Each structure stands twice: as structure tokens, then as C-alpha cells.
A and B are shown apart, each in its own frame.
Chain A
Amino acid sequence: MSKPLLKKKTYGLLAEYDSARAIYHACEQVRDAGYKVWDSHTPFAVHNLDKAMGLGPSVLPWIVFAMGMTGASLALLLQWWTSTVDYPIVIAGKPYFSWQAFVPVTFELGVLFSAFGAVFGMLGLNRLPMWYHSLFNSERFLRHTDDKFFIAIEARDPKYDPQKTRELLERTGALHIEEVED
């Protein structure tokens, strides 16, 4: 009983750089070569690298805005409903709907929901948590959280060609290029 030999799939090519400056110019070249399914990996957010990669703005602010409005509206609705509809009671001679007194809780819940939107929205847009990723198969990639900078061009990019893509990455001044298994 021998298992059929699984042919290992290729995730893509991983190129290594050693400075923010190098990865910045390399990204510009990969972008200009017309690749779409690729990414760069850096130990910190390199300023404007997203523009060098040709990425658009994040949609996160819209998620946060929607969440914040939801939180504030729910808070105001709760306070209005409990004090005018469900259990109307006169407190300190104030009207049932004394909205001035309801501002703090409305504000706090608006902030709370916005913060949930910001954090979980960010994780959702980034598809995190994702504890397995093909790039973690590369031993050298471990340095991406320390002092090395990487570009990964995926094999499923329509322009991907093992030979030509490798040549492009060599031209960008990569210090080391390797093929990563999926």
C-alpha cells in the first residue's frame, strides 16, 4: 500500500531585501511590471509602501462609521425607551426624555462600538487570525518580523512565470530569491 506521490504545489516566489529603501524601489518595479496577486512583508509599516505597490485606500473607516452610528443610536434608543415607554418615572423634576442627561452614555457606547468596528473590522479585512500561511514554510521568512523585507509574487498571478518573474525580482536587487511551497 503505497500512497500516491503528491506533487507539491508552488505558492510563489519570495524575494528578500535588507532595507526600507530597497523594498520601496523593488515594489515600484513589480507594480509597474503589472503584477496583481503579490504582496510585500515588512517588520514595520514602511511609509508609503502601499502607494509604491499601487494599493487603494482602506475601507475600514466606513465600517467604523457604521458601527459608531449603530452604537450611539442603540444607546439613545435604549435610554429613550426605558425612560419614556417602558417605565416612565419622574426623576428630579426632569422631563421623561431629558436628552442632555443621555449624552454621556450615548457617546460612550458610540465610542465602544466604533472601537469594536475598528479592531474586528481590521482583522476581518486582513483575514486574521490565519495561523497557517504558505510563507511560514520558508525559514528565511522568519526574519520578516525582525530586519528583513520581502516581496512574494504568487503563482496564481496571471503574469506569473517561474523564469521571467525570477528575472524581474533579480533586477530589483533582491538579495535572495526562493520558491515557496503551498
Chain B
Amino acid sequence: MAQYQDELDPITGRKELVDGDNVTFHDVTEAVARPIEVPSSRWWIAFIPSVMLLGVYLISIAYLLYMGTGIWGLNNPVAWGWAIVNFVFWVGIGHAGTLISAILFLFRQKWRTSINRAAEAMTIFAVICALQFPTFHTGRPWFIYWPLPLPNQMEMWPNFRSPLLWDVFAVSTYFTVSLLFWYVGLIPDLATMRDRAKTPIRRFAYGLFALGWRGSTRHWLNYEKAYMILAGLSTPLVLSVHTIVSFDFAVSQLPGWHTTIFPPYFVAGAIFSGFAMVLTLLLPLRAWFKLEHIIGIKHLENMAKIILLTGTMVGYAYGMEFFIAWYSGNPYESYAFQNRLFGDYWWAYWIMVSCNVITPQFFWIRRIRRSVVWLFILSIFVNIGMWFERFVITVTSLHHDFLPSSWDYYSPTVWDVSTLVGSFGLFFTLFCLFVRYLPTVAIGEVKSVMSIANPHYHGDGGSHGEHH
């Protein structure tokens, strides 16, 4: 397997995280900062279609506000249609960013440093997209502050026993903490941009948000502590968020929803879909911004392994749901699962299984894990599959509930489709603006994991066993 032999760090004996001979700190700064300072015209190729899709989104929302949620395909019994499907889909996407920034940090996975910035940005934008759907699904989004415990003329309080209210607290906390974590990580890199700035506007703008950072070791001491604490807080937070999202379903009495497997199954699925989206975004980014030596093939391979792991967990959960449906002896539960397989929405179920169970198994093969083209194609399939998973869960359980007299078939309208497609416009527009103006790789963090950053590094290819 000589073709896969990676360069090794002389001190730790592990894979070098930045590829190339004698890469200096300055080279890393240049590689990341250059595409922001001298933008490529290719950026417009991504930005213009994104803004056009954003236009589709804005038109859809404007028409929704004018007409009301009747323009969507919602009916009775399917009162939760694409809006909740899209909400869960987007929140799930966000989870990979937090996994990379927090959980991999606690596990000392140093390879995370080259992808955490973009993944955290993805998290924030995905949560912004997610928040759109419940907001507009309320029908009267100008009353969205009603779930907050604010004193009011009716002297009533929100129902703290409702999972929907827990969701309000969970997702808003998640968004706030992710934003803070991202910003804290950005501060030293904004200072880098400030110190390189050639124009007064840039110096002012980056300087304002860099807060006067001057790389002081006394500051790094508190900074690193804050970073570690934020990682420690985000880890249970991210697990709680999708757990609580799954409570929206699991706490109800509906067959197919009322299961205890939902929290871990939702979290695994979220990480699975999120990593697929990270690959979808980073594969073009690293090629266009010429970051292949920083976001190396080994990083991509590691992500593929996580997709394989979480995808297999999701496949196990699908199987276990069927086992429990049979083993419980509950006729309603059994029917719900038969209905998934062979009922009106059999096509959605089989799309989901093909994309989520079969696709990740390709990553057992090393050549596929290290092939950019394969990774990109498979990541798209995972994205599709995970959207369908939420569709299957939401719609198949709702459209055939306990009373056959209330059964109905649900199908989306053109406005459902345009809102979902448009939300990708919102997401990609925000991501394009991010890669245009902010360092897409955590410059300082990547430097700190290079072998030359080690105070014991001699430059002649090895440590001489010094101890301090």
C-alpha cells in the first residue's frame, strides 16, 4: 500500500497535517488570506446562482405571508409537512460543525483544525435556515416571541412541559453558543487579516472585530481555557439539541414516532448528514481556493470514516425500529412500519434506505475514501437520503394515524418545493459571503498543529529528548 503512505511528523510519528516540504507559518497565512484579499472571479460562479435561489426563497416567503400557510400542501391529518421536514434536516446538518469543533477537540483530533472554521460557519448558516421553517410554519411569524416566558396582559406563561418549548430553548441556545464559539475562534485570525490589510477600510473592519488582539501569552492562557470550556459545553449541548428535536416526535403518542430509540438515532443521523454537507462544501472550496495541502486527502478520508460509522448506526436504527415494531406485538406500531415499506410512500422509504444504508458502505474501500470525485457524489446521496429520512418519519406516521376515516394522502405544492430550494439559496449565499470575507481555515490553529510549532522541534527532523 505504498501509494497511500503519508508523510509523518518527526516528533509524534503521526501524519503531517499540512502537506508539502518545509511549509512555513507564513505559507499557511498566505494560502488562507490570499484568496480573500485577491478574490478569484470564480467566486461569482457560485455566488450568482446562490443569490438567485435566495430570490426564490424570498418570493416564496413573501407569497406565504400574503396568503398564509394554505399555499403549502398541508392537510388534516398531515399538519406537519415539509416545514418540519426541512427544519429537522437543516438542524441536523449543523451538528457536524459542532462535532468537529467541540467533540473532536476534546478527543484531541488535531486534524480538525483545517476544517473546523468552515464547518462551524456551516453550522451557523444551517441553523439560520432551520429557524426559518418553524417561524413561518406558525402562520403568524410576528408572534414568534410568544414561546418566550415574557410577562403579558393575559398573565400566562408558556407550557414548560412541552417538547416544542424545549426545542425553542435548545435551538436558540445552540445557535447562540455556536456563534460565540465561532467568533472566539475567529478573533486571532481577524487580527491576522487586520495586520495584513492594505486598505484603511479593511484594516478598520477586521480591526474592529479583532478587538485589538495582540497574541499575548497572558491572553492565550485565558483564551485556550475559554475555548476548551466552550468545547466542553458544546458537546452535551449538541447531543441535547437533536435529542430534544427527536422529543418533538417521540413524546407524542403516534405509532412510528413514540419510540425510545429516537434520541440516539436522531443524533447519529444528524452527524451523518452534517459530515456529508461538510464534504459537499469543502471539496469545491479546497480546489478553488487551492487549499489542498491544508485540507488534505487524509482529512477527507477521516470524514468518510465518520460517515461510514454514523451511517451504519443509522442503518442499525432502521433495522431496530422494525424489530421492536414486530417484537412489541403492538398492531398499530406494526402497521406503521408495514406502511412505510409497502404503503403509499414506499418510494420515499426505499430512496432513504438506498441513500443512507447502502451509500456509506462504499467507504469501506480505501480508494473511494481517498477519491475526491467519489466523496462528492456519495456526499450528495447522503444529503438526499437524510432529507428523505425526515420526510418518511414525518409523513408516513401522520398520514395514516389511528382512525382510518381521517387518513389522507399528502403531497407538496410548488410553494413547498420553492421554499426548500430557496432555503438552499439562503444557505449558499451566506456561505459564499463567508468564504469571500473571512478566513475559511483557522490559520492560528493549523499553525499550532504543524511540527515546527512544537517548542522541541529542531529542524533537523527529530526531537532530542529534551524535557522541561
Asked if B217 and A40 make an inter-chain contact with CB atoms under 8 angstroms apart, the answer reads yes
**Complex contacts, A78 vs chain B, CB 8 Å:** 149
Within 8 A of A (CB), among B223-274: 223-226, 229-230, 233, 236-237, 240, 244, 247
Q: How far is the CA of A82 from the CA of B150 in the complex (A)?
A: 11
Residue-wise interface mask of A (51-83) relative to B, using a CB-CB cutoff of 8 A (1 in contact, 0 not): 111010110110010000000000000110011
Contact with A145, one of B191, B453, B455 (Cβ below 8 angstroms): B191
**Complex contacts, B165 vs chain A, CB 8 Å:** 105
- The yes or no answer to B188 lying at the interface (CB within 8 A) is yes
Within 8 A of B (CB), among A29-54: 39-53
Task: From B84-92, B277-285, B337-345, B442-450, give the one contacting chain A.
Answer: B442-450
Q: How far is the CA of A122 from the CA of B183 in the complex (A)?
A: 13
Residue-wise interface mask of B (191-234) relative to A, using a CB-CB cutoff of 8 A (1 in contact, 0 not): 11011100000000001100111111111111111100110010
Contact with B169, one of A19, A109, A126 (Cβ below 8 angstroms): A109
- The yes or no answer to B305 lying at the interface (CB within 8 A) is no
Asked if A111 and B219 make an inter-chain contact with CB atoms under 8 angstroms apart, the answer reads no
**Complex contacts, B454 vs chain A, CB 8 Å:** 20-21, 47
User: Which chain B residues have a beta carbon within 8 Å of chain A's beta carbons?
Assistant: 24-26, 29, 149, 155-157, 159-161, 163, 165-166, 169-170, 173, 176-177, 180-181, 183-184, 188, 191-192, 194-196, 207-208, 211-226, 229-230, 233, 236-237, 240, 244, 247, 444-445, 447-448, 452-459, 468
* Given contact pairs A21-B458, A115-B176, A55 touches B218 in the complex (Cβ within 8 A): yes
Asked if A147 and B226 make an inter-chain contact with CB atoms under 8 angstroms apart, the answer reads no
Residue-wise interface mask of A (84-112) relative to B, using a CB-CB cutoff of 8 A (1 in contact, 0 not): 00110001101000100110110111011
Residue-wise interface mask of A (117-156) relative to B, using a CB-CB cutoff of 8 A (1 in contact, 0 not): 0110111011011111101100001111111000000000
Contact with B29, one of A92, A104, A136, A146 (Cβ below 8 angstroms): A146
* Given contact pairs A115-B230, A118-B233, A39 touches B455 in the complex (Cβ within 8 A): no
Residue-wise interface mask of A (15-35) relative to B, using a CB-CB cutoff of 8 A (1 in contact, 0 not): 000011100100110000000
**Complex contacts, A46 vs chain B, CB 8 Å:** 217, 448, 453, 455
Instruction: Label chain A's interface by main secondary structure.
Output: helix
**Complex contacts, B195 vs chain A, CB 8 Å:** 142-146
Contact with B217, one of A42, A83, A92 (Cβ below 8 angstroms): A42
**Complex contacts, B173 vs chain A, CB 8 Å:** 108-109, 111-112
Q: How far is the CA of A130 from the CA of B244 in the complex (A)?
A: 40
B350 to chain A, nearest CB (A): 35
Q: List 19 A-B contacts (CB under 8 A).
A: A19-B457, A20-B453, A21-B454, A44-B188, A44-B453, A45-B220, A45-B224, A60-B226, A78-B149, A82-B149, A82-B157, A83-B157, A87-B155, A104-B163, A108-B173, A114-B229, A133-B214, A144-B195, A147-B25
Contact with B240, one of A27, A107, A143 (Cβ below 8 angstroms): A107
A63 to chain B, nearest CB (A): 10
Asked if A94 and B215 make an inter-chain contact with CB atoms under 8 angstroms apart, the answer reads no
Asked if B215 and A144 make an inter-chain contact with CB atoms under 8 angstroms apart, the answer reads yes
Besides A41-B214, A47-B454, 18 new A-B residue pairs in contact (Cβ under 8 A), listed by A number: A40-B216, A41-B215, A42-B215, A44-B188, A46-B453, A46-B455, A49-B220, A49-B455, A82-B149, A82-B160, A94-B161, A129-B211, A130-B211, A131-B207, A133-B214, A145-B213, A146-B25, A146-B26
**Complex contacts, A118 vs chain B, CB 8 Å:** 180, 226, 229-230, 233
Asked if A52 and B468 make an inter-chain contact with CB atoms under 8 angstroms apart, the answer reads yes
Q: How far is the CA of A141 from the CA of B194 in the complex (A)?
A: 12
Of all chain A residues, the one with the shortest Cβ separation from B30 is A146
Contact with B216, one of A27, A41, A102, A129 (Cβ below 8 angstroms): A41
Contact with A115, one of B166, B177, B244 (Cβ below 8 angstroms): B177
**Complex contacts, A145 vs chain B, CB 8 Å:** 29, 188, 191-192, 194-196, 213, 215, 444
Q: How far is the CA of A60 from the CA of B468 in the complex (A)?
A: 25
Of all chain B residues, the one with the shortest Cβ separation from A151 is B217
Asked if B215 and A121 make an inter-chain contact with CB atoms under 8 angstroms apart, the answer reads no
**Complex contacts, B160 vs chain A, CB 8 Å:** 79, 82-83, 101-102, 105
Most buried by B among A78, A126, A144: A126
User: Which chain A residues have a beta carbon within 8 Å of chain B's beta carbons?
Assistant: 19-21, 24, 27-28, 39-53, 55, 57-58, 60-61, 64, 78-79, 82-83, 86-87, 91-92, 94, 98, 101-102, 104-105, 107-109, 111-112, 114-116, 118-119, 121-123, 125-126, 128-133, 135-136, 141-147
Q: How far is the CA of A48 from the CA of B467 in the complex (A)?
A: 12
Q: How far is the CA of A166 from the CA of B161 in the complex (A)?
A: 67
* Given contact pairs A94-B161, A118-B230, A50 touches B214 in the complex (Cβ within 8 A): no
Most buried by A among B161, B195, B217: B217
**Complex contacts, A79 vs chain B, CB 8 Å:** 160
Asked if B447 and A128 make an inter-chain contact with CB atoms under 8 angstroms apart, the answer reads no
Contact with B455, one of A24, A82, A91, A121 (Cβ below 8 angstroms): A24
Q: How far is the CA of A132 from the CA of B210 in the complex (A)?
A: 12
Q: How far is the CA of A132 from the CA of B215 in the complex (A)?
A: 14
Of all chain A residues, the one with the shortest Cβ separation from B207 is A131
Asked if B221 and A58 make an inter-chain contact with CB atoms under 8 angstroms apart, the answer reads yes
**Complex contacts, B225 vs chain A, CB 8 Å:** 58, 60-61, 122
